[in-house]
Structure 1
Amino acid sequence: MMATTSRGMASRNASRSSVIVSVTRRTRKSADVCIAGPTDRRSKSFGGYPVLSGADAERGEVLKRWEGLGFYARARHLHEAAQRVVEEHDGTVPSTMDAIKDLKGIGPYTAAAVLSIAHQKPHAVLDGNVTRVLSRVFAVEEDATTSTAQRHLRALANELLDPKRAGDFNQAMMELGALVCTPSTPLCDRCPLQNVCRAHDAGTEEDYPITPESEPVPHHDIAVGLVFDADDRLLIQRRPDEGLLGGLWEFPGGKQEEGESMEAACRRELREELGIEVEEVTPFYTLSHAYSHFKITLHAFRGRLADGPPEAREDQPFQWVGIDELDDYAFPRANRRLIEELYRRREEPSLFD
């Protein structure tokens, strides 16, 4: 998400780093997909933005490029940060901690990663991988998720940092945690720190880092409507810009209420959100999907617009689109799976009848 500039390679590298760091701040498994090589999903997603050109892009275009990577707030934040870099910093990504942290979505980890890798500034990164390595090496007897423990671990990381090779050090520490000092069954025999690792010496590697017990993952049943008009166009609605999946398009719907059937939930949500009634409502498809902090079962119903027209909320515009146009819009993964099912069944006469 970057503006083409002639300010030099440092700015170019800083810009690339801010995107790569934001994309790869995910689970280890997802990150492997993102950084696999020159033809991976990340390269395809951002091939159209050579250096900060995302500043001039529409938000919808940015979200479409990001589609499928998850954590969509990062795309919105990067877009806003790119605009501020152009407007306030003459197209050059800031090279000081205070200035770069002032950009939207840039926290201590991203700031340290960009500054050390792109500018060789002596700032140690502290992500989940580095936290795990340091917690084991020093047998840190604190809940690693607390702010006190994070300050302690960051101080340890900065003490170990080689200021002349800050970027290399940070990348090495992150790779060590990702590939060797793994959450379970760490490869201690391959670890260059095994001789100084207190947890390894005590045989308690998997006891660290100390974290609180995880809470049960909430589950929600969601009803959505695939509403067709007389021209066989589908009704889609854009989510508010802020919040979960902000700015993405979706099929309208919402959570089932207590004592309510899924079809009744679908009809109620369409009435409340868009002021419409539907007829010929039939079940279309059901799928399960997991987000970072909760799970859903999505129940999709097909129907015809019976009474309208739709009335959009100020922050949730709607659109009538043909099935062939759905790929022009950015959708959450669960909705994209519904679209794939629509494509699979589009030749069925019953899809529109």
Structure 2
Amino acid sequence: MSAEGGTRAIIAALLANIGIAVTKFLAFALTGSSSMLAEAIHSVADSGNQGLLLLGGKRAKREATPQHPFGYGRERYIYAFIVSIVLFSVGGLFALYEAYHKWHEKEGIHEFQWVPVTVLLVAIVMESFSFRTAIKESNHTRGNQSWLRFIRRAKAPELPVVLLEDFGALVGLVFALFGVSMTLATGNGEWDAFGTAMIGILLVTIAVVLAIETKSLLLGEGAETHDLAAIERAVTDGPEVERIIHMKTLYLGPEELMVAAKVGVPACETAEEVARGINAVEARIRAAVPIARVIYLEPDIYSAAAERAGSGSASHTAVPGPDDEAAGRSGS
């Protein structure tokens, strides 16, 4: 995902939500509808969330420091996790509280009855434009993945967050429109409370999904299967490395991958030969997977006997014997 695409989707959602929040608060002030209040708070929460995503993207661009030698790329994950908390508490729990409060009052909508329906219809149109922008930007990087897989596997959090927020906003508006319309038709405020409760349940569900997915990114995820295969091919596609003894990958940020590996190299007479070989392998890795920007390769002499003993290398011996060298070549 390009950072620019994510930023465009965030700004589109932010502008839409600010405008929608103002109209919803006006509608609530005129009608007293709990669905309108829940939706207004939802839009305020979404606006704050988009502000958090923009802030996280800006802070993630800071240069690495001695205290944070791998940079600040993961700040984008931290702010996305905060978004899930805000959506859960400010959006979902508030809507459920308001639904409980409205259920006991059962007040209908007696004045300005045309206002909430008009506002909700306008909000659906505005939110649809924001959702369309998020879909368009996501399609640039989604490829052939399903939407569910894209949301679950995306390493950059901004587009999945905006997609889920916009989707939740559209469905929430439909719930609110249903609750308000039924209240206007029957004069029974319980329908308004029901619509508000559905909004709350929806927001809590989306917040939990976001929290689970972002938690995985915060804990640290390795390279995708296709990138891992490309890295392995790049390492072994040359005479410099006989085999990979073991390798680990880790996303330092949405667009920065760390690769660390111990590799079995042929016996060389000088350290200069080993260094040239390692540099060539690193160049191939970066060409195959451009986001692999931090690479640590440890050269070693592979030993089948050592592998059977559990180490996979001959680092415990000063010079490999003829039998070990022959075994290493046959195991490559």
TM-score where L is the length of structure 1: 0.26
The structure with more radius of gyration = 2
Higher share of residues assigned helix: 2
More strand by share: 1
Highest relative contact order (Cα 8 Å, sep 6+), 1 or 2? Answer: 2
User: TM-score, normalised on structure 2?
Assistant: 0.27
